[in-house]
Amino acid sequence: MKQQQPPPLPQTQPPSLSQATTGGGGGGAAAAEGSVVAHAISSLNGNNNNNNNNNNNNAETAKCRPPLYPKPKTPSFDKDRDYIGFATLPEQVHRKSVKRGFEFTLMVVGESGLGKSTLINSLFLGDLYKNRQMPNVEDRIEKTTRVEKKTMDIEERGVRLRLTVVDTPGFGDAINCEDSWRVCTQYIDEQFRQYFTDESGLNRRNIQDNRVHCCLYFVPPWGHSLRQMDLDLIRRLHRKVNIVLVIGKADCLNKTEVRKLKERILQDLEDNHIQLYQFPECDSDEDDDFKQQDRELKASIPFAVVGSNTILEVAGKKVRGRQYPWGVVNVEDAEHSDFIKLRTFLISTHMQDLKDTTQDVHYENFRAQCISQISQHALRERGKLKRDSISSTNGFDAAISETDRLLLQKDEEIRRMQDMLTQMQEKLKQTHLMEMKKNDSVIDV
Ligand code: GDP
């Protein structure tokens, strides 16, 4: 199996956590850091003397300074004069990520009693469902699906993970469970919308990522394949979230039944053009063990799991298992269940890819839809404004032409009156001339 080994780093003291499950080692790590820092400062000062006093003084000085980043292994310049230093970039990224911590949100969907909470507790070695209240039969008739969010901070070898489990109690419990999927799609969309709003805001540095990175959908072991309600939900969710199918309580089935159920489920998905989370192709330069593990993980889908939070002793070994009259089901035995494969996939090998797919595929789809809706809305608004301005311009033109028409009418009237006046003046002139001529003739006589 491929070892997922982080680059070697000086140990740093992890910041204290509210519910960190592991503590210990902090003081030692701090001391280690102190000596690394002291050594780095000593080297920076060009002091190669390994004198204890000097080291102590330098360590004192180091306390007052911000911690130094890991000092790259400086090669001997005699050996390699072409060394630039960017080979430490992965270390820088690693250190920054470790400091920041990781966030992962897992949605768990399936009807109650399928072993969801037991499995989550077995996966993350916690007890996320301490105060759970079981609904009675009457409650279930009208029961609506709710969303319940539980967060726990876990730490392993200095790496902090903020795990959020989104449960959907009541899913598929009511007699009419047609709308169970709606609660899930609304929740997923809501988280995307919140992230989109935060990302478009002013303070983008401390955005909390609550987007759902993976949805574990529990299929009951007692059906022949997927039911209509399973298909309804998966069809509506598969373009929004990475869906991973899990056959719960797989100890109810024998090996042949598990194989047949898996085949029929995969066939149903294909017939309905549903695409669940796609495992990325394994890089060709990976070692054979890793490639083999990758093949096995892919071949196990949907994972047939058995969960248990009980530790039993089998042949002198403590195992997580279920005790039956005829024997023990060892949850972590690959012959009994796909539990270990699911845990490897979800936590050790594909957690980051699930996050990347959420960011690059599902969130991008949502973002593209949002942007297209916003631009369509803006276009509609602009069109409306344009229409309004055109109609107001048209009104203005109409008003102008009406005034012009009135003015023209008045002009015409004035012109007519002036004509009449001219005619009258002409007549008066004529009359006056005729009278003058008359008077002249009278005088002549
Ligand atoms: P949830 O309602 O889906 O969260 O189911 P629970 O985890 O509360 O489990 C319901 C019951 O099934 C409990 O009595 C569990 O002990 C039992 N159970 C859980 N996982 C398994 C399993 O893998 N196989 C069997 N046979 N029983 C299980």
What spacing in Å lies between the alpha carbon of 248 and ligand 1's midpoint?
Answer: 8
- Asked whether residue 307 carries a pLDDT value surpassing 60, the answer given is yes
Q: What is the pLDDT of residues 110-121, one digit of tens each?
A: 888 899 989 998
Give the atom of ligand 1 at the shortest distance from the alpha carbon of 248.
23
CA angle 167, 149, 184 (to 5 degrees): 50
What spacing in Å lies between the alpha carbon of 114 and ligand 1's midpoint?
Answer: 6
Closest CA to 108 of 153, 196, 172: 172
Contact 291, 282 (CB under 8 A): yes
Give the atom of ligand 1 at the shortest distance from the alpha carbon of 111.
3
Give the atom of ligand 1 at the shortest distance from the alpha carbon of 252.
26
Contact 106, 152 (CB under 8 A): no
Q: What is the pLDDT of residue 22?
A: 33
The listed range with the strongest mean pLDDT (5-14, 136-145, 399-408) is 399-408
Q: What is the pLDDT of residue 4?
A: 45
* SS3 at position 375: helix
Residue with CA at minimum distance from ligand 1 atom 12: 115
User: Does 116 sit in the ligand 1 pocket, CB within 6 Å?
Assistant: yes
Residue with CA at minimum distance from ligand 1 atom 18: 115
Q: Is 373 exposed, middle or buried (0-12, 13-18, 19+ CB in 10 A)?
A: exposed
Closest CA to 58 of 32, 38, 34: 38
Q: What is the pLDDT of residues 158-188, one digit of tens each?
A: 888 899 999 887 777 666 666 778 888 999 9
Task: Annotate 260-321 with DSSP letters as a single string.
Answer: HHHHHHHHHHHHTT---PPPPPPPTTS-HHHHHHHHHHHHTPSEE------EEEETTEEEEE
- Asked whether residue 155 carries a pLDDT value surpassing 60, the answer given is yes
List C-alpha distances in Å: 271 to 5, 32, 151: 41, 58, 37
Contact 246, 303 (CB under 8 A): yes
User: Does 216 sit in the ligand 1 pocket, CB within 6 Å?
Assistant: no
Q: What is the pLDDT of residues 9-43, one digit of tens each?
A: 334 343 333 343 333 333 333 333 333 333 333 33
Give the atom of ligand 1 at the shortest distance from the alpha carbon of 218.
3
What spacing in Å lies between the alpha carbon of 49 and ligand 1's midpoint?
Answer: 64
Closest CA to 45 of 32, 30, 35, 55: 55
Closest CA to 218 of 302, 123, 135: 302
Under the phi-then-psi rule, with left for phi > 0, alpha for psi from -120 to 50, and beta for the rest, what region is 148? beta
Residues in the chain: 445
User: Does 39 sit in the ligand 1 pocket, CB within 6 Å?
Assistant: no
| DSSP conformational letter for 105 | E
Probe ligand 1: pick from 118, 219, 324, max atoms within 8 Å of CB? 118
User: Does 330 sit in the ligand 1 pocket, CB within 6 Å?
Assistant: no
User: Does 112 sit in the ligand 1 pocket, CB within 6 Å?
Assistant: yes
Sign of the torsion formed by the C-alpha atoms of 292, 296, 297 and 298: positive
User: Does 168 sit in the ligand 1 pocket, CB within 6 Å?
Assistant: no
- Asked whether residue 216 carries a pLDDT value surpassing 90, the answer given is yes
pTM value > 0.85: no
Structure tokens at 334: 């690959």
- Asked whether residue 78 carries a pLDDT value surpassing 70, the answer given is no
User: Does 320 sit in the ligand 1 pocket, CB within 6 Å?
Assistant: no
pLDDT tier at 390, thresholds 50, 70, 90 = low
List C-alpha distances in Å: 231 to 25, 113, 218, 272, 300: 49, 20, 12, 8, 20
What spacing in Å lies between the alpha carbon of 117 and ligand 1's midpoint?
Answer: 7
User: Does 307 sit in the ligand 1 pocket, CB within 6 Å?
Assistant: yes
Note if the bond before 220 is cis, omega within 30 degrees: no
What spacing in Å lies between the alpha carbon of 108 and ligand 1's midpoint?
Answer: 14
Closest CA to 191 of 216, 214, 218, 159: 214
What spacing in Å lies between the alpha carbon of 169 and ligand 1's midpoint?
Answer: 14
User: Does 342 sit in the ligand 1 pocket, CB within 6 Å?
Assistant: no
